[in-house]
């Protein structure tokens, strides 16, 4: 693959000239000085949003020195509903500008940057329209990053991206537990090889995940309960049980295993996330899922993705903001890993 993030390597040093005003508004350039300021030091809500939360961009094949690598995956050829999630990674990064000013994200009591070093590897480069090559390129890129010792957080893109990502994580960590937030089980058998609704039918058959150690949260669409091996905590059950009880059940199911967490944004009710391809009414609120995630503190989450953000159907960036907030919460969970 080489440096697949090459075209995302930006010059991240700016020169700012400090000027002194003198009477009659005459500018004396002899009084000026030059200082270098890092773009990642900019905490504005709107400027220099190249990396997630202002993280530095890396063109290194393995992401350089960092604890967590961010990778955008602008692929949406696997969707069966409304397309447009290829624009998801950029939208999530832009929305993260609303969060980066807050050093200690509420309700956490410490600044993320004091405990976690993060790098943004830009977006995956692949030949448009070639799903088979895309899947292999994503697998290889993810594998390089994971083998370098980093946790990988990927921004989709449609949900198909989870399958090549799981293959890469499995190559390093072995069979995984799956923690899956979604409106759909994505265990359907009637889709094609590159379908965003079949990944979790294929993944257990490839030995990538263990359904007996896996949970699906927020489900509210049809599936065959009699043949279903995953623990399902559907949307109604989540509302009945409460957040802490849901977190406890997920923890019991995972039972100390290494876990991969995937979050389809349509797990949220369309009131909180309208910008997605297959919205389903009756979902969870953003506050509910944030509380559930905080209840997973201490679970060994080795990889993560957030998928199905489709900005063209969003309003006032609320879906992208929800995704960016969830991603920030997942970064805190990385600090709390055993």
* pLDDT per residue as tens digits for the range 70-113: 999 999 988 888 889 999 999 999 999 999 888 888 999 999 99
Looking at the domain assignment, is residue 171 inside a domain? Answer: yes
pLDDT band of residue 190 (cuts 50, 70, 90) is confident
Lowest mean pLDDT among 79-88, 208-217, 243-252, 284-293: 79-88
Looking at the domain assignment, is residue 292 inside a domain? Answer: yes
Rounded to 5 degrees, φ, ψ at 322 are -60, -45
Looking at the domain assignment, is residue 126 inside a domain? Answer: yes
Looking at the domain assignment, is residue 202 inside a domain? Answer: yes
- Give the percent of the chain with pLDDT over 70: 86
Cβ atoms within 10 A of the Cβ of 33, count? Answer: 9
Inform me whether the pLDDT recorded for 4 exceeds 50: no
Looking at the domain assignment, is residue 36 inside a domain? Answer: no
SS3 content of the chain, % helix, strand, coil (to 5): 40, 20, 45
Looking at the domain assignment, is residue 10 inside a domain? Answer: no
Specify whether the CB–CB gap between 201 and 188 falls below 8 A.
Answer: yes
Q: Which pLDDT value is given to residue 177?
A: 98
Query: Over the stretch 52-70, which tens digit does the pLDDT of each residue have?
Result: 998 988 888 787 889 999 9
Rounded to 5 degrees, φ, ψ at 24 are 65, 20
Task: State the CATH number of the domain containing residue 180.
Answer: 3.40.800.10
Looking at the domain assignment, is residue 16 inside a domain? Answer: no
- Into how many domains does the chain fold? 1
Looking at the domain assignment, is residue 307 inside a domain? Answer: yes
Domain containing residue 243: 43-335
Cβ atoms within 10 A of the Cβ of 39, count? Answer: 18
DSSP 45-99: SSS---SGGGPPB--STT-SS-SEEEEEE---TT-SS---GGGHHHHHHHHGGGT
Inform me whether the pLDDT recorded for 212 exceeds 80: yes
Query: Look-up: residue for tokens 């490839």?
Result: 206
Inform me whether the pLDDT recorded for 48 exceeds 80: no
Q: What pTM was estimated for this model as a whole?
A: 0.86
pLDDT band of residue 261 (cuts 50, 70, 90) is very high
């Amino acid at each position: 693959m080489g440096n697949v993030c090459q075209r995302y390597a930006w010059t991240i040093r700016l020169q700012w000239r400090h000027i002194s005003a003198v009477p009659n508004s005459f500018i004396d350039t002899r009084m000026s000085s030059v200082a270098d300021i890092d773009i990642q030091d900019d905490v504005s809500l709107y400027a220099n949003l190249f990396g997630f939360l202002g993280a530095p961009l890396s063109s290194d094949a393995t992401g350089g020195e960092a604890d967590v690598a961010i990778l955008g995956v602008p692929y949406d050829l696997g969707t069966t509903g409304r397309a447009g999630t290829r624009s998801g990674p950029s939208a999530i990064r832009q929305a993260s500008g609303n969060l980066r000013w807050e050093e200690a994200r509420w309700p956490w009591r410490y600044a993320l940057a004091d405990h976690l070093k993060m790098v943004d590897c830009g977006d995956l480069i692949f030949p448009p329209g070639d799903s088979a090559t895309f899947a292999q390129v994503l697998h290889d890129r993810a594998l390089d990053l994971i083998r370098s010792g980093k946790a990988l957080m990927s921004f989709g893109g449609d949900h198909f991206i989870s399958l090549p990502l799981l293959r890469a994580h499995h190559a390093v960590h072995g069979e995984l537990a799956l923690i899956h937030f979604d409106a759909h089980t994505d265990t359907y058998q009637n889709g094609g090889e590159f379908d965003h609704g079949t990944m979790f039918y294929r993944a257990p058959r490839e030995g990538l995940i263990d359904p007996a150690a896996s949970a699906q949260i927020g489900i509210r669409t049809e599936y065959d309960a009699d043949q279903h091996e995953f623990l399902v905590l559907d949307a109604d059950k989540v509302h009945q049980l409460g957040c802490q009880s849901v977190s406890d059940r997920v923890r019991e199911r995972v039972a100390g295993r290494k876990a991969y967490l995937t979050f389809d944004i349509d797990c949220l009710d369309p009131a909180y996330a309208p910008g997605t391809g297959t919205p389903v009414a009756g979902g969870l609120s953003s506050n509910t899922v944030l509380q559930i995630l905080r209840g997973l503190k201490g679970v060994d989450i080795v990889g993560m993705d957030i998928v199905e953000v489709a900005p063209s159907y969003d309003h006032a960036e609320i879906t992208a903001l929800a995704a960016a907030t969830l991603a920030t919460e997942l970064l805190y969970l990385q600090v709390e890993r055993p």
